[in-house]
Amino acid sequence: MATLSRLIGGFVRQHSRAYALSAIMLAGVATLTIWVPRKVGAMIDGLASHTLGGSELLREISYLLLIGAGIYFLRVGWRQILYGAAYQLGVSLRTRLYTRLTLQGPAFYQQQRTGDLMALATNDIDAIEMAAGEAMLAGFDGALTLAMVLGVMLLGVDWRLACIALLPFPLMAWSFWFISGHIHTAATETLKHFSALNDHVQETLSGVRTLRALGLEQRSAQHFATLAQHASDASLRAQVWEAAYEPAVGLTLTAAGGLTLGLGGYLVWQQQLTIGALTSFTMYLGQLIWPMFAAGWVLSLIERGRAAWQRLQPMLDAPLVIDDHGTLAQVASGALALQHVNYHYPQQTAAALADVTLTLAAGQTLGLVGPTGSGKSTLLRVLLRQLTPQSGSVVWAGQPLASYQLQALRAAISWVPQESFLFSASIAENIALARPDATSAEIEQAARLADIHDDILRFPQGYATPVGEKGITLSGGQRQRVAIARALLADNDLLLLDDALSAVDTGTETRILQHLEQLRQQRKGRSAIIASHRLSAVVNADLIVVLHAGRICETGSHEQLLAADGWYASQWRYQQLEASLDAS
């Protein structure tokens, strides 16, 4: 609660002008509102004493209509001003959450669910936004109206009626405290169940083709129905407890009204109170309905906002997996050296990389091969600083990787991962992702180098063809080649291919590798690291490293490794035999 109060308090101070203007307008609404019963009471006494004529009555009624119009416009005005400011808190929190998520590394996302993160950015922030907007001003409006109405009732009408009318209010305060605790619990459950539902929908839609292939549509629909029912039940429980505010307010005001009429009728009978004054007091008592409902509404919004903030705050405060304290804003071309690098994943005993030492000169190509799980992808992620080794050092151009700013380091590297990701845009936009200002000719040249140009021209819309979500309209090989074209267009100092040719045939692979070699000859100082299960992808590499269980077990050129007759030579003979059988 304290951290949420500091968050909202800081936001209110930042937008103090909008909140102050809204508060002034609300004060005007409260003043006009409490003036109405006084006018009505005076009119009734005037009519009862025959001192209020027809023209005066019309004038008083006109005043009441003007007051009503003024209250209407003031209420519309404060809502527009307030929500214009309060919505900025939602924008600020969503931007802050998005920025934080983009800086997190893979280890963070291994522990989080995408649907839950999406729910935080929507439902949870909406609840906090309401606490900063509706709750703040409703609370101010209710408190101000309550204070002014009670003041008029005590000092302006009759203090005896006011005292007896307030007798049931402590019971209502206790009811509000009891109800608010249950609302907080119910709101927390509601947000959790909504997150689970959101996560299931996101996961199902992402893997809808797999579900259809396995015939799991009915099972998935049943699971969705179960999650939807749980979310509905949790939301219903929260609504039931919120609805409990109304009976508490109704019973309190009914009891207060009964006590008021009893004592007020006696005072009128004893001629110690006029009928107009009793009418005014009764109307003031009716005006206490809004402050009481406002209190319940505010407590409900605050509890929902508090539950949402308890879920959101850990994400905003989650430490970054990779520290970005580098000072160098540009990476110079130079050799890449790893010295005794060790890395093991959390909750795993075996090392993913063990005492890895190698050097890649500027302009050279390194081939990384080895069985599945040997550490090839882990090594590339260390170079990208997605992972930080527990020991050892990685130096590029004479500087430790940690000395470079993360943005500068990754801007100097073109990376094509195992699973190529395409955004829901056109083919041209996906290729030009790293260089939005690239010309059509440059985009087409990159596509030719990736051997995807002819495939693109066969689409009805050519380069303007939408690829669909995650590139669903393209084949696996086409997605890989679009991703390679994107990396080549970036034209960075270091190119990392993480098994990026696995979905293309050997002929296409050969053409792409020839193009990469031509680029390397044209642009001196550009290095490349190719990790692949297919040894034909690294035949022309200057240096080939064989990894096994995270350790370097063989190094050398293609010819040297064949002569060594180790794992590489054995695997080469097997793959060549397999290729010849496929060709036949």
Tokens of 156: 């302006």
Q: For 21-52, how does the pLDDT look when each residue is reduced to its tens digit (9 = 90+)?
A: 777 777 777 777 766 666 666 666 666 666 66
Q: For 524-538, how does the pLDDT look when each residue is reduced to its tens digit (9 = 90+)?
A: 778 888 888 888 888
Rounded Cα distance between 480 and 3, Å, is: 46
**In the predicted structure, residue 442 carries a pLDDT above the cut 70:** yes
3-class DSSP state of 555: strand
Same domain, 292 and 431: no
Q: Where are the alpha helices (DSSP H) in 388-505?
A: 406-411, 427-431, 440-449, 453-457, 476-490
The confidence score (pLDDT) of residue 583 equals: 58
Task: Decide which of 461, 491, 521 is a domain's last residue.
Answer: 491
Rounded Cα distance between 512 and 492, Å, is: 17
Residue from 154, 166, 82, 140 nearest 295 by CA:
140
| Residue 571 domain flag | no
| Residue 518 domain flag | no
User: Look-up: residue for tokens 């430490």?
Assistant: 319
Cβ-contact 551, 370 below 8 angstroms: no
- The count of structural domains within the chain is 2
Q: For 162-179, how does the pLDDT look when each residue is reduced to its tens digit (9 = 90+)?
A: 677 777 777 777 777 777
Rounded Cα distance between 344 and 342, Å, is: 7
What residues make up the domain containing 453? 419-491
Task: Decide which of 469, 491, 513 is a domain's last residue.
Answer: 491
Q: Backbone dihedral region of 392: left (phi > 0), alpha (psi from -120 to 50 degrees) or beta?
A: left
| Weakest-pLDDT range from 25-34, 216-225, 383-392 | 25-34
What CATH number does residue 470 fall under? 3.40.50.300
The confidence score (pLDDT) of residue 5 equals: 67
Same domain, 313 and 455: no
**97 band by pLDDT with thresholds 50, 70 and 90:** confident
**In the predicted structure, residue 3 carries a pLDDT above the cut 80:** no
Same domain, 304 and 431: no
| Residue 231 domain flag | yes
Mean pLDDT over all residues of the chain?
78
Q: For 276-306, how does the pLDDT look when each residue is reduced to its tens digit (9 = 90+)?
A: 666 666 666 666 666 776 677 677 777 778 8
